Amino acid sequence: MRLVHFLRKHCELNKQSSQRLLASGRVRVDGNVVRDPGCRVTPYCTIALDDKALQTGTPCYLMLHKPAGVVSATQHPEHPTVLDLVPNEWHPGLHLAGRLDLNTTGLLLLTNDGLWSKQLSRPEHKVDKVYRVQTQHPIDSRYIKQFAEGIYFSFEGITTAPAELELISKHSARLTLREGRYHQVKRMFGFFDNPVVALHRERIGELTLDPSLAPGDYRSLSPAEIQCLVPTG
Ligand code: URA
């Protein structure tokens, strides 16, 4: 349903008044101000006028084992998306809480709760993100020191936050980051001209990818899992 139609129905307004209400910036969908009358809403969206909830939606939180070759997006002209892995009835309002590159595998979160995903993605929200990395060339102890000190990313003009690297074998390691910059893991190994040949996210904060989930499978998060990622106090 279009948001303008939703407002007409719920607030008993005519078309012009509901358009004016939207233009005033008083309407929020999943925590974001929406002014576009064409915006589509579903029964899963949380819709508020000022501080008054017009629809609370049914919150949904999923963990998904992302396979390689699937895009972390809701639509893509070329590749299947993670939403193609979830049956249609789950779709309304579902969006990604974080992303992984096309060929990265592992833990990905989906939700229709815009506030929850927003909290998760805030830069101040520092949770560990743990990756298993396989590289083309051998990894050595220089990497441990360099990653702990940070690496300068000239494009953004920043130095990465201290990261922990645990060597597993000559060509594989476990890397713990507390931030999520564009292609961060690949760029960090790029500092040593060492291409990442496989990347898998094992854990976000206290939440570990459920080992019973095969690539492409997903399950709902338990209330404790939802709470452990974004504590409400
Ligand atoms: N870092 C990367 O380079 N790729 C990912 O998919 C995630 C983190």
Q: Please report the domains of the chain, with CATH numbers, ordered by start residue.
A: 3-55 (3.10.290.10), 61-123+207-228 (3.30.70.580), 128-204 (3.30.70.1560)
For atom 4 of ligand 1, which residue has the closest CA?
Answer: 183
Q: Is pLDDT above 80 for 91?
A: no
CA 100 to ligand 1 centroid distance, Å: 6
Distance spanning both ends of the chain, measured CA to CA: 35
CA 94 to ligand 1 centroid distance, Å: 22
Contact 67, 215 (CB under 8 A): yes
Query: Any residues with Cβ below 6 Å from ligand 1, and which?
Result: 100-101, 104, 183-186, 199
Which pair of tokens denotes residue 142? 């220089």
Q: Please, what is the Cα angle at 156 between 155 and 159, to 5 degrees?
A: 110
Q: In this structure, are strands 196-204 and 129-135 parallel, antiparallel, or unpaired?
A: antiparallel
Of 101, 160, 177, 196, the residue with max ligand 1 atoms within 8 A of its CB, to mutate for a pocket test, comes to 101
The pLDDT of residue 9 is: 83
Q: What is the mean pLDDT of the chain?
A: 91
- Give the active site residues: 101
Of 184, 188, 202, the residue with max ligand 1 atoms within 8 A of its CB, to mutate for a pocket test, comes to 184
Q: Which atom of ligand 1 is nearest to the CA of 100?
A: 6
CA 109 to ligand 1 centroid distance, Å: 15
The pLDDT of residue 85 is: 94
CA 101 to ligand 1 centroid distance, Å: 6
For atom 7 of ligand 1, which residue has the closest CA?
Answer: 100
Q: Given the structure tokens 């000022």, which residue do they identify?
A: 50
CA 197 to ligand 1 centroid distance, Å: 12
**Residue 52, number of CB atoms within 10 A of its CB:** 8
Q: What pLDDT, in 10s, does the model give residues 9-68? A: 888 889 899 999 999 999 999 888 999 988 988 766 788 899 888 887 778 899 999 999
For atom 2 of ligand 1, which residue has the closest CA?
Answer: 183
Alpha helix positions (H), 106-164 = 114-121, 141-149
Q: Is pLDDT above 90 for 99?
A: yes
Q: What pLDDT, in 10s, does the model give residues 159-188? A: 999 999 999 999 999 999 999 999 999 999
